[in-house]
Amino acid sequence: MMGVAPSLTPAPENTAATEPVVTFYVGPLLLGLPIAQVREINRHLDFTPVPHAPPQVRGVVNLRGEVVTVLDLHRVLGLPAAEQTLQTRNLIVFYQGEPVGLLVDQVADIVEVDPEELNPPPANVQGVQARFFRGVLPMERDILVLLDLDEALSLTAEKGGNSRQENTRS
Amino acid sequence: MFDDPELVQSFVEESLEHLADIEQELLLIEQQGEQLDLELVNKVFRAIHSVKGAAGFLGLTQINQLAHSAEHVLDLIRNGQLVPSSEVVDVLLRAADQLRWMIQNVDQSQECDIQELVQQLQQAASGAAGEEAASGQRETTEQRETTEQQNTPGPQNETAQEQPSSQSSDGSASGQEKSASPTPVQSNAAPAQGQTQPSAAGETKAASGQAAQPPSPPAAQKQNGAGGPAPQKPTPRTTAAETSLRVPVHVLDRLMNLAGELVLSRNQLLQQLDTSLVQGGGAIVAGLDRVTSELQEAVMQTRLQPLGNVLNRFGRVVRDLARKLGKQCRLEITGKEVEVDKSIIEAISDPLTHLVRNALDHGIETPEQRVAAGKEPEGRLELRAYHQAGKVCLDVVDDGRGIDPQRLKEKAVARGLISRERAEAMSTREALQLIFAPGFSTAEKVTDVSGRGVGMDVVRSNIERLGGTVEVESQLGQGTTVHITLPLTLAIIPSLIVRCGCQPFAVPQVNIVELVRVRAGERQRRIGRIKEAPVLRLRGDLLPLVHLSEVLWGSQPQATEGPINILVLESGQQRYGLVVDALEDSQEIVVKPLGQHLKGCPCLAGATILGNGQVALILDVAGIAASVQLRNVQQQEAEDAAEEEATAADSQTVLLFTNHPEEYFAVPMGLVARIERVRREQLQHLGGHQVLQYEHDTLPVLQLDRLLQVKPAPETRRLFAIIFRLRRREVGLLVPELCDVQEIPLEVDTESFVEPGVMGSVVVDGRTVRLLDLFELAQKAHPEWFARSPAEPAPEAAPTQYRLLVVEDSKFFRTKVAEFLTQAGYQVRQCEDGQEAWDLLCSGQAEVDLLITDIEMPRMNGFELCRAIRQHPQWSWLPVVALTSLSSQEDVQRGREAGVDDYQVKMDREQLLESVGRLLQQKRRPAPQEEPVPVG
């Protein structure tokens, strides 16, 4: 995720120095991801459940011939599992060169964010640990929280790894 | 001199190609010794010469100088002035290594210090008859380490000068670690480099990053066929160049993916068109179908490479390592021509290297030890590749000291890997597999050859990641065989789609042995439990059963009324039955990897997309076995092997009881009419016999301690009378204590404990149990009952006229039944199974008046035999009596449908004789002129 760091610090030659960010709701949170990290947003929600997967994994979907893992962001952040509604979307992001789907409650908007205006996240936001976040930005109605994709997704990957070890040892 | 990078690049590629086979060829030259194959030397000479020329042209003086010195030595060998001794070849090999390294790192080549090597080459050239031999040995060992290091890529951050001269054991050890530890460098490197530069070079670099020998590009190898150098008729390089083409690996990968997608699209199209085919559309679809299949195959072919690519390199590894360890070892390689997917070739190299090193380090003994053990001083290491059932097998076989399972167990216990109880319960076979346990090393001390923490567990996980399996077999003192199986390709696999709930899953066909459908009615008979674990009875085998829904979702299998679908699966040496909810069709599926978040799912090998776009997960057959700890079940079975075999062959429900508390007896449950509790005071003596006094009647009773050589029964107030019918009267057997009703295997020992009244003994739960013959017991107690046979319904003719055929797979029962039939006066012929009996009947050689058959038999069971008989024009009249251990209503029904005339319990000789007599009267062989007697 090399692309993330520069997007949050103002590029010297770019005077506007803002970055388009996709915002979406997960439970009580308004989250954001730089648009460069998002491959697409779709409604592929017919997951194939995967046995023995980490609890954060909702299943896999067929994305034009590719088998993509879909994570429930609620579970990743330690919130109760998501309930699917008409607004539920599958946000496909790139994580270490591989597409991963994120289940979100509702996609909100695309906003321009000036990294300079970002505040460091408080110890927790709505009960979710700060380590998942890059920073917060007060908006008109909500507080926009920029998601740290690496942290959010590596956690599950790590857990997956652990469970594998447990399984092979057993 | 570097002003033209393209020129330099093509020099690098070309030179590496020239050097590719040199190592093999030099080793061959060494082997041939004085019986030199001149053409082979010429080939090496030409290769070095070409490198020299090109290097000179580019101004690469160091390469040029080294090549020149090597060329000079080869020239002497070619002219017969120098014998290619081990020492000479050693220097040449090192020169080749150095050349290769310099070419790979061409921009550093000018800074290389090659003087020492050049001197050694000159020394070799001048010492035409091997005077240096005396000092050579020590020097060689030291130089060995240089070679070791050069086998691994020169560390990029070190300067080139340090590289060849650093001979400290430290340096060599670290170099070795690199080559021994299976780093993922190779597999990742190849595609990545393939995108930035022509692939052959990228591939070469990646491959040589792990070991010294770079494979030639795939197309060229295809030309060579066997891949290895053909010593007698070396193929000139020019020919290969004319007819082959270098293609970047990523292009092939892309083609492969596209072919995969095409297969998918074809499948979707076929499903769409299936129902709505227009006239003539069939031919078009068939054409598309065929072309797609061929395309897929052709693309797959491009990725196939002979295993020789990786196997050949071990000539050098074994030679060098053996010398270093002071051992002698002969390497035999078979199956170099076996082709597998490139990705597999790449990935198998590391585990294989580890296994070979292990074999040399721990397996093969020193010459002294070998001689002391009565073996040839020279050890033998065999690498054997072959195809088997759509898989590729690779065996690493040594004739070394073998592995001591006892020591493995102790070590595993000492390291806390397993409990002592578990260790004691382990079979030898299972104990051997302990070497694959994480954190296990058998080496007494850690050497730098093998056993540096990178253990066999890594070998196993690497192989299993490829969808392969690895097992070890060993005979202490005789040697060890490591058996690896690998899939041919990883990309497209034929598979069977099954359902669990409503979700589809794919099972690779290679793992499927057969499909078994157990009808609701057969369930009780075919599905049983051994110590809580469900098993399937399959032709005399007991197969552990796994419910897919249980293993995947942990849900209890639903009790359904319908038939059960079972896939009999095999992975490595494991076999088990997988219960699925439904079977669908077979499909060729394109394997898609699962994302990194799902790497920890042990039961899955990937995913695929079905014709309807649905994702189906691919089941990992070995993973499922591991996750339910199938080994335990299998081990249990192995322990109870004898019992198991017998259970499968035949079993009998018996009533177990004791007479004296230490002596166990059994009677067939089928003979027991009922059991009564009696008080001792009810017993009376009447005319020298014991009887049981009822209110209005008396019952003759038998006591074991009066009839058999047994310890006396305790004088208890209460007793049991096991009551059975004999000669149309009831007889009771008095026993002080009942134990159990149990199904016991009929592995009957007819040697020990045999006396009239005892048929033999069986071992049940570690206790010897005597199986009683009630008939004989009664005869012993009341011979007067048997003086005549008034009760016997006498056949019209004397029994001797009748010829009976007894068909029974259990030898015990067969002889027993034949024995008393013979005693009764019949002529008896015996067959071991239905097939044998059927063959006999069909041969026209046999005269048979009645057939007595067991139900459960291998090859052809009793029902099948009976059905066949009923269909046969000549034998359809034949009376058939079926024998059963304990007749179930269901069996009786099935038997009637098959045409069985009567059912009898196996041990009930009276009933059987009566039945035989009756049937012989009723049914008779139709005389030609007579009308057929209607079946009664």
A27 to chain B, closest Cα gap in Å: 23
What is the C-alpha to C-alpha distance for residues A55 and A70, in angstroms, rounded to an integer?
Answer: 11
Q: Are B329 and B379 in contact (CB under 8 A)?
A: yes
**H/E run at residue B566:** strand B564-571
- Residue B239 — pLDDT band, cuts 50, 70, 90? very low
CB-CB under 8 Å, B592 with A48: no
Q: List strand residue ranges (DSSP E) for A27-56, in order.
A: 29-34, 38-42
What is the C-alpha to C-alpha distance for residues A124 and B579, in angstroms, rounded to an integer?
Answer: 48
pLDDT of A92 reads: 92
pLDDT of B135 reads: 42
CA proximity to B553, closest of A80, A56, A49, A156: A49
The region of weakest confidence among B51-55, B123-127, B645-649 is B645-649
pLDDT, tens digit, for every residue of B333-351?
Answer: 998 888 888 778 888 888 8
Q: Are A27 and A126 in contact (CB under 8 A)?
A: yes
- Sequential DSSP letters for B411-440: HHHHTTSS-HHHHHH--HHHHHGGGGSTT-
The larger pLDDT score, comparing residue B13 to residue B211, is at B13
Residues of A in contact with B622 (CB under 8 A): none
CB-CB under 8 Å, A61 with B609: no
pLDDT of B632 reads: 45
Helices B86-104 and B22-32 sit at what angle, rounded to 10 degrees? 180
A86 to chain B, closest Cα gap in Å: 22
**In a 10 Å sphere around its CB, with 0-12 CB exposed, 13-18 middle and 19+ buried, how is residue B32 labelled?**
middle
B598 to chain A, closest Cα gap in Å: 6
Q: Is the pLDDT of residue B567 over 80?
A: yes
Here the tokens at position B617 are: 């997960």
The three-state secondary structure class of B667 is strand
Q: Is the pLDDT of residue B629 over 70?
A: no
What distances in angstroms separate CA B819 from CA B621, B785, B815, B825, one per listed residue? 49, 20, 6, 10
pLDDT of B51 reads: 83
Work out the number of other CB atoms within 10 angstroms of the CB of residue B260: 22
Mean pLDDT over residues B872-900, rounded? 75
Mean pLDDT over residues B778-789, rounded? 71
Here the tokens at position B84 are: 């290619």
- Residue B481 — pLDDT band, cuts 50, 70, 90? very high
Q: Is the pLDDT of residue B616 over 80?
A: yes
Residues of A in contact with B597 (CB under 8 A): 53-54, 56-57, 69, 71, 100, 153, 156-157, 160
Here the tokens at position B538 are: 């399959």
- Residue B573 — pLDDT band, cuts 50, 70, 90? low
- Residue B630 — pLDDT band, cuts 50, 70, 90? low
Would the CA dihedral through B445, B448, B453, B456 be positive or negative? negative
pLDDT, tens digit, for every residue of B290-329?
Answer: 888 788 778 877 878 888 888 888 888 888 888 888 888 8
CA dihedral B711, B712, B717, B719 (to 10 degrees): 60
- Residue B679 — pLDDT band, cuts 50, 70, 90? confident
Chosen from A39, A45, A52 to mutate, greatest number of chain B CBs within 10 A: A52
The count of C-alpha atoms lying within 13 angstroms of the C-alpha of B147, restricted to the half-sphere facing its C-beta, is 23
CA Rg, chain A, in Å? Answer: 16
pLDDT of B888 reads: 58
pLDDT of A134 reads: 86
- Residue B52 — pLDDT band, cuts 50, 70, 90? confident
The three-state secondary structure class of B307 is coil
The larger pLDDT score, comparing residue B168 to residue A136, is at A136
The larger pLDDT score, comparing residue B187 to residue B97, is at B97
A64 contacts chain B (CB < 8 A): no
Q: Is the pLDDT of residue B410 over 80?
A: yes
Residues of B in contact with A57 (CB under 8 A): 597-598
Helices B61-78 and B38-58 sit at what angle, rounded to 10 degrees? 160
- Residue B438 — pLDDT band, cuts 50, 70, 90? low
Q: Are B820 and B883 in contact (CB under 8 A)?
A: no
Percentage of the residues of chain B whose pLDDT score is greater than 90: 3
**H/E run at residue B798:** none
Q: Is the pLDDT of residue A102 over 80?
A: yes
A168 contacts chain B (CB < 8 A): yes
Question: What totals of helices (H) and strands (E) does chain A contain, helices first?
Answer: 3, 12
Which residue does chain A place closest to B632, by CA atoms? A170
Residue from the list B438, B615, B629 with its beta carbon closest to the beta carbon of A67: B615
CB-CB under 8 Å, A153 with B600: no
Q: Which residues contact B770 (CB under 8 A, 6 or more apart)?
A: B663, B664, B665, B666, B753, B758, B760, B761
CA Rg, chain B, in Å? Answer: 38
- Residue B928 — pLDDT band, cuts 50, 70, 90? very low
Mean pLDDT over residues B41-60, rounded? 81
Q: Is the pLDDT of residue A70 over 50?
A: yes
CB-CB under 8 Å, A50 with B604: yes
- Residue B281 — pLDDT band, cuts 50, 70, 90? low
Q: Please give the mean pLDDT across all residues of chain B.
A: 73
What is the C-alpha to C-alpha distance for residues B658 and B677, in angstroms, rounded to an integer?
Answer: 15
Residues of B in contact with A49 (CB under 8 A): 503
CB-CB under 8 Å, A161 with B599: yes
Q: Is the pLDDT of residue B908 over 60?
A: yes
pLDDT of B685 reads: 75
Q: Are A32 and A147 in contact (CB under 8 A)?
A: yes
pLDDT of B146 reads: 42
Q: Is the pLDDT of residue B42 over 50?
A: yes
Taking every pair of Cα atoms in chain B, the longest distance, rounded to a whole number of angstroms, is 125
CB-CB under 8 Å, B616 with A48: yes
- Residue B217 — pLDDT band, cuts 50, 70, 90? very low
Residues of A in contact with B503 (CB under 8 A): 48-49
A14 contacts chain B (CB < 8 A): no
Residue from the list A62, A100, A168 with its beta carbon closest to the beta carbon of B595: A100
Residue B60 phi/psi, 5-degree rounding, is: -85, 80
Q: Is the pLDDT of residue B190 over 80?
A: no
Work out the number of other CB atoms within 10 angstroms of the CB of residue B235: 14
Q: Which amino acid is at B103?
A: I
Q: Please give the mean pLDDT across all residues of chain A.
A: 78
pLDDT of B172 reads: 41
Q: Which residues contact B858 (CB under 8 A, 6 or more apart)?
A: B539, B540, B809, B833
**In a 10 Å sphere around its CB, with 0-12 CB exposed, 13-18 middle and 19+ buried, how is residue B134 labelled?**
exposed
Chosen from B418, B598, B599 to mutate, greatest number of chain A CBs within 10 A: B598
Which residue does chain A place closest to B612, by CA atoms? A62
Residue B514 phi/psi, 5-degree rounding, is: -165, 170
What distances in angstroms separate CA B368 from CA B311, B372, B386, one per listed residue? 28, 6, 34
pLDDT of A101 reads: 93
What distances in angstroms separate CA B903 from CA B588, B635, B670, B815, one per listed residue? 49, 37, 12, 19
B409 to chain A, closest Cα gap in Å: 17
A94 to chain B, closest Cα gap in Å: 11
With an 8 Å Cβ cutoff, the interface of chain B facing chain A consists of 261, 264, 438, 461, 503, 551-553, 592-604, 607-609, 613-617, 626-627, 629
> ∠ CA(B844), CA(B847), CA(B850), 5° rounding?
120
Q: Which residues contact B31 (CB under 8 A, 6 or more apart)?
A: none
A167 contacts chain B (CB < 8 A): yes
This model of the complex carries an ipTM of 0.81
What is the C-alpha to C-alpha distance for residues B460 and B354, in angstroms, rounded to an integer?
Answer: 11
pLDDT, tens digit, for every residue of B411-423?
Answer: 888 877 777 877 8
Q: Are B433 and B459 in contact (CB under 8 A)?
A: no
B423 to chain A, closest Cα gap in Å: 16
pLDDT of B363 reads: 86
Q: Is the pLDDT of residue B152 over 50?
A: no
CB-CB under 8 Å, A153 with B597: yes
| pTM exceeds cut of 0.80 | no
Q: Are B902 and B881 in contact (CB under 8 A)?
A: yes
Q: Is the pLDDT of residue B678 over 70?
A: yes
The region of weakest confidence among B201-210, B428-437, B852-861 is B201-210
Q: Is the pLDDT of residue B805 over 60?
A: yes
Q: Is the pLDDT of residue B684 over 90?
A: no
pLDDT of B911 reads: 77
